[in-house]
Amino acid sequence: MTTESPLATALAQLRRAVDQLQLSENDWNTLSTPRRTLEVAVPLRRDDGRVEMYKGYRVQYSTTRGPSKGGVRFHQDIDLNETIALAMLMTWKCALTNLPYGGAKGGVAVNVHDLSLGENERLTRRYTSEILPIIGPERDIPAPDVGTDERNMAWMMDTYSVNAGFSVPGVVTGKPISLGGSLGRNTATGDGVAISTREALKVRGINPEGATVAIQGFGKVGYWTAIALENMGLKVVAVSDVNGAVTGFSSVKDLFEYSQIHGTVVGAPGTDTLTNQELLWLDVDVLIPAALADAITEASAPGIKAKIVVEGANAPTTPEGDAIMNSNGILVVPDILANSGGVIVSYFEWVQDKQNYFWSAQDVKENLNKILMTAIVDVEQMAKGKNVTWREAAHMLGVSRVADAHRLRGLYP
């Protein structure tokens, strides 16, 4: 059976963790059910006067360990099931990193590339107003994800604040610095992916100096991962976007500038073009899927030659793809660990907003490293001790912490 849907994948991973932890069927029932799912219609007046309707979602998968937390995705392919899957992953991610949060995710099924800046702002504000009753600094705190960035967070913060009658910076994270954002938040996911890569290289006994990397996806996560890895001495040899992959570039920064102007990395001066599949199958030390779900499947996994795969994206691997990589001896650093740097620094932003006291870039960097390293060491030790994969260990840790919290809180009434 193939399981190529993010929700089927997430449920299969949860089932495995529940079985490995020997949790009860009651635990499975509570853990496998999203607590609150909201589907809204988001009307948008286009610049030419037409009114279009888009589907919007916000899923609060769990609030057991604290307010729910997770990004807002603007992408034409999202639906309720995918949003549930991503909200479930946020739940285990926040528990794995010991942040005092549950998990959430939201989004609008829209192609952002079709929107003008003004249309994007109106859509963001109307979506925010539709989900307004269930978000808030103590309830559910959105953040950027695929297709959204700090501009969207500024509009969300403003829309919420105008309704509250006063400024509420803590309602979203990933804001611009001048609106209560945190230093280091924009690079945080990439910084975390790089830290995870560094630790995985250590485990495999590979010298980071000159180790080669291919990155699928050149958005916020892929780009900042590339920069952080280069600073650690690795060599980024190939990157891709939706239009294709390139090798042979001399500077990641120049390539990024080219893609900002031309809308793609393909065709950048001095580069050779590859297909997405050729990138996944490059003979490199590290492969980093940093785009969307289901990149590594039973079709693509057999060709992967990298020794280490670090999941910058959420849910990039199907269970079948995962099994193939495991049997080929590839060390897979799972999404809920590898890309947790983003939500870790979101947590710092929320804490700073609550205290109205802002940290230095150095404080952010040191605390990110501390929290992520604790999670990496926990996962590595659990994997060794129980003879399971890093993904299984990460899920066992995250899921067991949520299950413990459930048990301690008890069932109301």
Residues of span 53-82 touching ligand GLU by CB under 6 A: 69-71
Q: Does 182 bind ligand GLU (CB under 6 A)?
A: no
CA quadruple 385, 386, 387, 390: dihedral sign: negative
- Using the contact rule CB under 6 A, the part of the chain among 157-165, 198-206, 341-349, 353-361 near ligand GLU is 341-349
Is the backbone peptide bond immediately before 413 cis, with ω within 30 degrees of 0? yes
253 is catalytic: no
Pick 65 or 307: Cβ nearer ligand GLU: 65
Residue nearer to ligand GLU on the CB measure, 141 or 309 = 141
Q: Decide: is 97 part of the binding site for ligand GLU (CB under 6 A).
A: no
Establish if 346 lies at the interface with ligand GLU (CB under 6 A).
yes
- Per rule CB under 6 A, count of chain residues that contact ligand GLU: 11
Q: Does position 342 bind ligand GLU by CB under 6 A?
A: yes
- Sequence-separated (6 or more) residues with CB below 8 Å from residue 400: 17, 21, 23
Is 291 a binding residue for ligand GLU by CB under 6 A? The answer is no
Residue in 9, 83, 97, 173 binding ligand GLU, rule: CB under 6 A: 173
16: three-class secondary structure by DSSP: helix
Binding to ligand GLU by CB under 6 A, coded x per residue (else -) over 308-327, reads ------x-------------
Instruction: Between 151 and 407, name the residue whose CB sits nearer to ligand GLU.
Output: 151
Question: CB of residue 248 vs ligand GLU: minimum separation in angstroms?
Answer: 31
Q: Least separation, in Å, of the C-beta of 102 and ligand GLU?
A: 11
Give the Cα-Cα-Cα angle 269, 221, 301 (nearest 5 degrees). Answer: 85
- CB nearer to ligand GLU: give 97 or 389: 97
The residue whose two tokens read 């020997």 is: 22
Minimum distance between the CB of residue 53 and ligand GLU, rounded to whole angstroms?
Answer: 25
Radius of gyration of the chain (CA): 20
Q: Where would I find the beta strands (DSSP E) of 2-154?
A: 36-45, 51-62, 68-74, 103-108, 140-144
Return the structure tokens found at 51. 């009114």
CA angle (132 as vertex; 128, 138 as ends), nearest 5 = 120
Exposed, middle or buried by CB within 10 Å (0-12, 13-18, 19+), for 306? buried
Catalytic residue among 105, 175, 220, 307: 105
Torsion sign over Cα 137, 141, 142, 143 = positive
Interactions with ligand GLU, residue window 121-160 (CB under 6 A): 143, 145
| Contact assessment for residue 37 and residue 80, using Cβ atoms and an 8 Å cutoff | yes
Question: Would you count residue 300 as binding ligand GLU (CB under 6 A)?
Answer: no
143, β-bridge pairs: 71
Residues that bind ligand GLU (CB under 6 A): 69-71, 143, 145, 173, 314, 339, 342-343, 346
What residues are labeled active site?
Answer: 105
